[in-house]
Amino acid sequence: MILRANGPFDFGVMYDFMERQDDCLYQTRGGKVRRAEIFGGRRVLFEVSESAEPDGLEVEILHDEGAGECVVSEYVADWFDLDYDLERFYAFARRDGRFEAVTGEYYGFRMLAYVNVTDVLVWSIIGQQINMKFAFELKRRLVEYFGHFIEYEGEKYWIMPSAGELLTLTVEDMREMQISRRKAEYILNCAEGVENGSLSKEYLQSFDSYSGAKTHLTGVRGIGPWSANVVLMRTVKFRHAVPVGDAGLRNALKITDGLDGKPGAEYIEDIISWWGQFGAYATLYMWRVLG
DNA sequence: TGCCAGGGTCTTT
DNA sequence: AAAGACCATGGC
């Protein structure tokens, strides 16, 4: 089946981006992306690739234990953020010189969302203050510990464990994976929140204001302003959300603004205020400045 | 080698 | 309110 985006979309640009990540929950090969998921206990493996039609993508289900096309297409649309009116961001970006090069080079690039709230919470904790390569390795160890995968054509496609399963871990279990003691505590704390509903996707989506949701998230131990904004940006899709203090964003601003050193908090706050409802996409494109 | 990495909490000034 | 210590470890 073919899905179409609300405005510009370039699967090739997305693929190049995804290829450079090392997320164990999807696999890139030969221009196609494969992912296994579980919906209501039914596992499914699907493949996403370039479509013949412009601004769209092709979805093919390779293995299905009863999830159905509808659920998968909804998932993919969410994952690639196909519903966002990207042209509106581009219209804004034309008034900010920082984006001149990147919006041209990466035209049709959209946010790669985290559909699964447990996934984004774990990532926003593991990803705190360590290099990305190591962070992806830690996530891989955590995921593979639970042994959920679909095997297809001799390859394993891993599935994120549920929050309930994460709760069966101890801090010591995660220490053996080289996850720090603090982060292990944070992960358990967040898994508990997903289980009891205080961090469920439904609940986070029920906030009608960005600041209300942010206040709720930062009240959770282990979730600071950076992590809260990662969750709000990439899962709940509040378009104002910017991971304040993000090292990549600061490095990018240093380049685009020709600064001598990294910008301070005040400097960034002013820019975020200017970006307004385009903050999330502005951040994504700023990250592309770094290559 | 030493600093940095897509930070956060807890303790001290 | 703001600044510092500490966490942990790999990458470059």
List residues with CB under 7 Å of strand B: A 21, 124, 127-132, 182, 218, 220-228, 230, 234, 243, 245-248, 251, 287
In this structure, what token pair is assigned to residue A14? Answer: 């997305």
Higher pLDDT, A264 or A201: A201
Nucleotide nearest A180 (Cα, C1'): C8
Q: pLDDT band at A113, cuts 50/70/90?
A: very high
Domain ranges of chain A: 2-105, 117-147+161-236, 247-289
The reported pLDDT for the residue numbered A291 is 81
The reported pLDDT for the residue numbered A123 is 98
Q: pLDDT band at A30, cuts 50/70/90?
A: very high
CA distance A186 to A121: 9
Architecture of domain A2-105: 2-Layer Sandwich (3.30)
List of residues 6+ apart from A253 with CB closer than 8 A: A98, A259, A262, A263, A267, A268, A271, A286
Q: Chain C: nucleotides under 7 Å from a protein CB?
A: 7-12
Say if pTM beats, i.e. exceeds, 0.85: yes
Superfamily of domain A117-147+161-236: Hypothetical protein; domain 2 (1.10.340.30)
Residue A7 has pLDDT above 90, yes or no: yes
Q: How far is the CA of A264 from the C1' of B13 (A)?
A: 22
List residues with CB under 7 Å of strand C: A 129-131, 133-134, 137, 178, 180-182
Q: Chain B: nucleotides under 7 Å from a protein CB?
A: 4-10
CA distances from A110 to A56, A68, A89, A170, A285 (A): 12, 25, 11, 37, 9
